[in-house]
Amino acid sequence: MPEQSKPSITDPKLEPIEQLEAILSTSDNHKLESFVYEIPSGEMARTISLLDEEDQKSLLTRLPADAAAWIVEELSHQQAADIIEELHPDDAADIIDELPSDEQADIIGELDDDDAEAIIEKMEPEEAEDVRLLSKYDSDTAGGLMVTEFLTFLGDTTVGDMADNIRQNAEEYHEYDVQYLYVVNPQEELLGVVRMRDMVMCRPEVKVKDIMMSSPKFVHVNDHLDFLEDFFDAIFFNAVPVLDEQNKMVGVLKRADMEEALGDRSERQLLRLGGIIAGDEMRTMPTFPRAARRLAFLGPNIFLNLIAAGVLIYYQNTISQIVALVVFMPMISDMCGCSGNQAVAVSMRELALGLVRPTDIWRTVIKEAAVGIINGLILGILIGLLAWGVGSFDLGPLQGQPNIAPMLGLVVALAFFFNCIIAVIIGGTVPLVLKGLKMDPAMASGPILTTITDVCGFALIFGLATWLIIP
């Protein structure tokens, strides 16, 4: 073994990636395993993404399945899936067997159907069944978010027998932080819930049906994240049972998992606003698919931009006579776009908070118009004064026409004023309209807004100029 490939594991001067690569270049699997547990949780995703594909593969196959699963849990589902699908299905299945059921389903959901099936076939039968169950449901529903690890008992079980069962299975239950026990009938229909704390106060011979909370709260597998958010808002429990279409209990939805899903959704929205379709590009992916994904969004934008270009072609004669106005095109286009985006952001937030509905368009128009008039007036006057100034020192072909500089200022100010009002009204209402049409407001609001503000802005500035200035 060459000398330079043997740095100390704990050398604080080396980054985790450097140390990991050094250890991977040896054949010391024991050292590899202990080092993996030393990588700080916040460094894991980046460290793994910096390894080349071969090293990622060799890392996960050389480690015992539970250590490999430890790594996989620290990665985003997509990053995990990208690495898992390169492994042999046997190795992949061993690692996935070690994950909690909701993570299993999330990662397998990111794989191609063929890869997924190959791995599920190699998994332990019980785990495989859970994955098949969970992957039937959309990831934004209770069925997709639930865990399938939960404890059920028949109503006639005594508290003492329940405690015995929990003790016997302590190791298996260790990771699931059981907080409630569920009472079912032989058809697995939910009858009640027992809190651990209520068991503490009981003598062992008491039957669970006598201490359970009957008519318990529950959700259905197909209940959507929006409903679940409201549901948890209204209750104090940290977890609720999930029933399938036949009212059979099939899982438990934890409050923390619901909150995590809400957070993920906001983050996807953030990315979608930037126009990445599917919202899951990472720079570790190959270049061409990344470029293609971005193009898919940019392409249609050309056609929207053609409308604005059309307006400019229409006014080409005016433009050639008052070139000074060209100087103010980007200002009107950018600032009004910006004003409109502010309105988009407020609407998106109010939609998320449940403060507006798609039918509240008229109220939004009035509220936005008020702000648009104030800001359009203030900024319009400012920009108009700038235009007056520019007009005073360079008049182009219109030199000598009386009052040309103040007229230039007036045209720019008026164009900005009206376009600003249009922008905030469009920006405020487009997300509501898209939501009403069941489209994604995050992705489409921006391009629609920009196109409309550009078209109106250019039409206003050159239309007003044609009317007020051209002799």
Contact, 16 vs 48, CB < 8 A?
Answer: no
What residue has token string 């229909």?
189
Q: How far apart are the first and last CA of the chain?
A: 87
Q: Alpha helices, DSSP H only, in 218-286?
A: 225-233, 255-273
In this structure, what token pair is assigned to residue 14? 């080396």
Cα within 13 Å of Cα(89), Cβ side: 15
Should residue 255 be labelled a site residue for a copy of itself when binding is judged by CB under 8 A?
yes
Q: Which of residues 88-147 bind a copy of itself (CB under 8 A)?
A: none
Q: Which span (55-63, 135-143, 367-375, 432-440) binds a copy of itself, by CB under 8 A?
A: 367-375
435 within 8 A of 384, measured Cβ to Cβ: no
Size of the residue set binding a copy of itself (CB under 8 A)? 129
Residue 91 or 150: the one with the smaller Cβ distance to a copy of itself is 150
Only one residue has tokens 């957070």, namely 263
Ramachandran assignment for 365, one of left (phi > 0), alpha (psi -120 to 50 degrees), beta (any other): alpha
Select from 1-9, 53-61, 141-149, 168-176 the region that touches a copy of itself (CB under 8 A): 168-176
**CA atoms of 375 and 102, how far apart (whole Å):** 49
Q: Which stretch binds a copy of itself (CB under 8 A): 4-12, 28-36, 104-112, 350-358?
A: 350-358
Check binding of 361 to a copy of itself (CB under 8 A): no
Order of strands across the sheet that contains 239-243: 219-220, 239-243, 249-254
Which listed residue (287, 399, 402, 438) binds a copy of itself by CB under 8 A? 287
User: Binding residue for a copy of itself (CB under 8 A) from 196, 278, 439, 468?
Assistant: 196
Binding mask 410-449 for a copy of itself (x = CB under 8 A): -------------------------------------x--
CB 129 to a copy of itself: min, Å: 23
Give the C-alpha separation, 241 to 220, whole Å: 8
Shortest Å distance, C-beta 244 to a copy of itself: 24
Query: Interface residues for a copy of itself in 296-335 (CB under 8 A)?
Result: 297-299, 301-302, 305-306, 308-309, 312-313, 316, 319-320, 323-324, 326-331, 333-335
Among 112, 247, 295, 392, indicate the residue that binds a copy of itself (CB under 8 A).
295
CB nearer to a copy of itself: give 15 or 245.
15
**CA separation for the pair 235, 242 (Å, rounded):** 15
User: Rounded to an integer, what distance in angstroms lies between the CA atom of residue 226 and that of residue 22?
Assistant: 47
Q: Are 151 and 167 in contact, with CB atoms under 8 Å apart? A: no
Judged by DSSP in three states, 147 sits in strand
Q: Of residues 201-240, which lie at the interface with a copy of itself (CB under 8 A)? A: 201, 226-227, 230-231, 233-234, 236-238
- What x/- string results for residues 18 through 37 when contact with a copy of itself is judged by CB under 8 A? --------------------
Sign of the dihedral through C-alpha 436, 437, 443, 447: negative
Per CB under 8 A, the list member of 162, 212, 253, 422 interacting with a copy of itself is 162
Binding to a copy of itself by residue 470, rule CB under 8 A? no
276 is a contact residue toward a copy of itself (CB under 8 A): yes
